[in-house]
Structure 1
Amino acid sequence: METLKIGDVVLVHAYKHNGAIYRSWDAAIVLELNSDYLVLVNEDVTVTELNGRKWKTNEPAIWIFNRKNWSNIICMFKETGLNYYCNIASPFIMEGKTIKYIDYDLDIKVFSDGAYKILDLKEFNRNRIMWKYSQDIINMIWSEVDNLKNQIKNKAFIFSHDRAEAFWDQYLEWKENNQK
């Protein structure tokens, strides 16, 4: 982390519990880094799936990687409003300019009105059996789901639309100052 600075472009690699990479993002811009979290910006990023399929992100997004929590959160600026996609995942590690984490299947989709939906429960149950997730990992996963539900309910940290929009404004200011 000591070598990262605001404006750096990093790769993001998501792995499954068995160690196989299953998705990668080719470019994200470092917006903020501190002792608690790392903030990235995605705009028109190419995503590559395990099967080689490539696609581009549809909307600009702020991506929060917490250092201690078992999740990362994507704040998507959609035409219909600000939506969030919470990946239940291991805390991230950095290798060079690549962010790496293990995706533990469960996701929480949060709509602009604060309603949310837990996704991929069947995938989680299938993978926890197939890859023999330890009870400690299972406990961490469900603890993080509860933590996120509480943050969503209380509009804490990034789930405050104002906070997410402030990060976006910070990015636009940085972008304007660095394109000269």
Structure 2
Amino acid sequence: MHHPKEGEFITTMSFKHDGSLHRTWRDSMVLKTSDQSIIACNDHTLVTEADGRRWVTREPALLYFHKHYWFNIVTMIRQKGVSYYCNLASPYVIDEEALKYIDYDLDIKVFPDGEKRLLDVDEYELHRKRMHYPKEIDHILKENVKILVEWINEEKGPFSKEYVELWYERYCQLSNKKPLQ
């Protein structure tokens, strides 16, 4: 297993349950790595969809991946405030090629005003049937939705203002960028 160091860039790849490539993000800067998690940041990063379409992210985003939780968290830092996009996904693995995980369709979006929305329930149900998600995974994902909502409500970890300030400031230091005002 590859352990990237602070300041190194990694690629992130998400797959679907059937093993097909879903999406690839280039050049996320690693801010912290441990045996359990990786915190990274990207800004105006190239994203390639499975069908070959390409686009570039619009703002800095802190990325939180964990070895035990079945979700990852994208903290989008915008002029109008911080919002979050939380993917229900397998714990990550990392190798020489990329940080990798399986995307399980369900997402929670948290808006700057604190509003929360569970997204893509229909897509989840369709893929659950089509790709034959095991009952165990269905149960794990539903339990992790509860954990994620608890973290959001308690402003735990990536959902705390201090976390966002600390890691965005570190990204700005390492990349010699000026923070958003």
TM range (shorter): over 0.9
- Give ranges in structure 2 of 5+ residues lacking alignment: none
TM-score, reference length from structure 1:
0.94
CA-CA distance at 1:174 after TM superposition: 2.2
Identify the residue that residue 53 of structure 1 maps to in structure 2. 53
What is the rounded CA distance, in whole Å, between the counterparts of 2:55 and 2:3 in structure 1?
29
What is the rounded CA distance, in whole Å, between the counterparts of 1:127 and 1:42 in structure 2?
29
| AA of the residue aligned to 2:88 | I
Identify the residue that residue 141 of structure 2 maps to in structure 1. 141
- Residue 87 of structure 2 aligns to a residue whose secondary structure is strand
Asked whether the equivalents of residues 82 and 161 of structure 1 are also in contact (C-alpha less than 8 Å), the reply is no
1:89-100 to structure 2, matched below 5 A, reads 89-100=89-100
What is the rounded CA distance, in whole Å, between the counterparts of 1:174 and 1:21 in structure 2?
31
CA-CA distance at 1:2 after TM superposition: 5.2
1:1-150 to structure 2, matched below 5 A, reads 3-150=3-150
Asked whether the equivalents of residues 42 and 60 of structure 1 are also in contact (C-alpha less than 8 Å), the reply is yes
- Give ranges in structure 1 of 5+ residues lacking alignment: none
CA root-mean-square deviation? 1.3
Percent same amino acid among aligned pairs?
34
Cα offsets for 1:30-74 (capped at 9, x unmatched)? 111113310111111000011111000011110000111001100
Instruction: Name whichever of 158-167 and 72-81 sits farther off.
Output: 158-167
Identify the residue that residue 151 of structure 2 maps to in structure 1. 151
**Once superposed, which parts of structure 1, at least 4 consecutive aligned residues long, lie more than 6 Å away?**
none
- Residue 173 of structure 1 aligns to a residue whose secondary structure is helix
Q: 1:77 to 1:98 in 2, by over 3 A?
A: same
CA-CA distance at 1:97 after TM superposition: 4.2
What is the rounded CA distance, in whole Å, between the counterparts of 1:17 and 1:176 in structure 2?
38
How many pairs were matched up? 177
CA-CA distance at 1:3 after TM superposition: 4.0
- Residue 51 of structure 1 aligns to a residue whose secondary structure is coil
What is the rounded CA distance, in whole Å, between the counterparts of 2:27 and 2:147 in structure 1?
29
| AA of the residue aligned to 2:101 | Y
| AA of the residue aligned to 1:67 | K
Asked whether the equivalents of residues 87 and 103 of structure 1 are also in contact (C-alpha less than 8 Å), the reply is yes
What is the rounded CA distance, in whole Å, between the counterparts of 1:173 and 1:9 in structure 2?
15
TM-score, reference length from structure 2:
0.94
| AA of the residue aligned to 1:162 | E
Asked whether the equivalents of residues 9 and 97 of structure 1 are also in contact (C-alpha less than 8 Å), the reply is no
Asked whether the equivalents of residues 110 and 117 of structure 1 are also in contact (C-alpha less than 8 Å), the reply is yes
